[in-house]
Structure 1
Amino acid sequence: MKVIGIYTKDFSLYHDLMDAMKAKGLDFIVLSNPDRIPSKVGVVITSSLEKKSVSCKNVVSADNFRRVMDAVDKALQILRGKEHYMEIVIGIDPGEYPGVALLGDGKVVQTWCLSSVDETVGLVERLLRDYNAEVKFIRIGHGSRVYRDRIIKGLSSLKLFIEIVDETKTSPQTGFSREERNKKAAVKIGATPGRRFAGIGGGKKPTKGEIRDVQRKSRILSKGRITISEEVARKVLEGKISLEEAVKEN
């Protein structure tokens, strides 16, 4: 099986690449001579200044990406031998720590567990930009309405086809860490057909239970100091403001 090769004399880039590769649990080879690339290396990550010296068909310049992790993702894409898909689906398990899965032509390409809505929106935007496909769309779970609607609102400028998926049966059984559960749920959501998104709130008014739940979360977020009003809770559920903004304004 082919692996990623790392070649650079840039000390800072070298350590950033080491951290990224280890964080993903990937096998790799550190190259000392750019003219002698082992046959098991399928792609080399280096800097744009050193790229010309690397004797390899597939070379990724890490400094051409916003993050080193993005360069590693691109190298993985090349390593898997597929840079163009007929269909790209991004599955999202909404929540406090959203799970995201990238599916290319029905196969899982990669999964993530993120720490915020903003980070999720940023990742989805990058995936849509970096991966080529004839058709691209998003499937997001119907639960965790506050987080779901905030993610959708963040992606609204993309004018992309979005499906809402019933995630009742997508949550994996116990025995997995939160990160693994969220990733697995995102994969199932991405692979499950849903209904076309009809606007934030779907035309439905927030229920009393949903309003109370948002108020409860406002107390948790403010460490018991604040309980936002029902009117403000409705705005949060409608995606007009975030829960964090609602707490700060009170």
Structure 2
Amino acid sequence: MRGLARLAVYASCAKDYYTIVGALRRRGLPFLSLTPDRRLPRWVRVVVVPSRDAGKLSLPPEVKLIEVEGDDVELIPIKAKLALQGKELFAELLVGIDPGETCGLAVLGDLDLVDYGVYRDVGRLKRYLDLLLGASLSRRTLIRVGGGSPKHRDRVLSALPSLRGVEVEVVDESQAVEVLPMLIEGVPRDVASAVRIALKRGSRLRLNE
């Protein structure tokens, strides 16, 4: 299936290449590698490159170029999925967080699981959310936090006040919401819980309005 991948990677520096490739492999996204002398296959629709290499490729107008620099590497999977769907923006991002000793994170773009993670450090979770919201990838973003454990819930909520203008809800986890099995297939249990939280309406909070 690699030959049919609609996503390609080009980097002149080995370190840049393996950084990008690592992010794609962690999310199971198929891709092919480009070299300067390799013709771009006609089925490729998205090319990921380090910003320093962006001017080295000549691409047809129908191919989307994603430039990566610094911390942007964490958003490669979600940006790639957005581009592969032929969209400039998601209509809605639902961000589910399952608080606990480890926090599960699920990001649903127009009800498709586009990124996820498990965090032991709330600071790292907050850093990811800062990157995600700063990238402006959707018309609307709603963060939903599970309320099962008040201690862990409050630990997560305490990291959110600096996210100005973001809608935040606390979700009652006592009644599970049904999700399509394909949406949570193969993901860690904390992430599966975060998906369910993202899909369930909660009680609205107001942060720094």
TM superposition score normalised by structure 2: 0.80
2:110 matched residue in structure 1: 105
Q: Is 1:32 aligned with 2:35?
A: yes
CA deviations on 1:53-84 (whole Å, 9 max, x unpaired) are 22333112222x41423234322321222232
Q: Is 1:14 aligned with 2:8?
A: no
Q: Which has the higher strand share?
A: 2
2:160 to 140, 148, 155: 155
* Post-superposition offset of 1:178: 11
1:216 matched residue in structure 2: none
Q: Which has the higher helix share?
A: 1
Higher relative contact order (CA 8 A, sep 6+): 2
* Post-superposition offset of 1:34: 6.3
Stretch deviating more after TM superposition (45-54 or 32-41):
32-41
2:196 matched residue in structure 1: 188
Q: Would the aligned equivalents of 1:36 and 1:55 in 2 still touch at CA under 8 Å?
A: no
* Post-superposition offset of 1:42: 1.7
Q: Please provide the CA RMSD for this pair.
A: 2.7
1:137 matched residue in structure 2: 142
TM superposition score normalised by structure 1: 0.68
1:197 matched residue in structure 2: 205
Q: Would the aligned equivalents of 1:62 and 1:71 in 2 still touch at CA under 8 Å?
A: yes
Three-state SS of the structure 1 residue aligned to 2:197 is: helix
Three-state SS of the structure 2 residue aligned to 1:50 is: helix
Q: Would the aligned equivalents of 1:34 and 1:55 in 2 still touch at CA under 8 Å?
A: no
1:234 matched residue in structure 2: none
Three-state SS of the structure 1 residue aligned to 2:12 is: coil
| Structure with the greater alpha carbon radius of gyration | 1
Three-state SS of the structure 1 residue aligned to 2:161 is: helix
* Post-superposition offset of 1:35: 6.6
* Post-superposition offset of 1:145: 2.1
Q: Is 1:127 aligned with 2:132?
A: yes
1:93 matched residue in structure 2: 98
Inter-CA distance 171–181: structure 2 relative to 1 (3 Å threshold): farther
* Post-superposition offset of 1:37: 0.9
Three-state SS of the structure 2 residue aligned to 1:156 is: coil
**For residues 133 and 24 of structure 1, what CA distance do their matches in structure 2 show?**
20
2:181 matched residue in structure 1: none
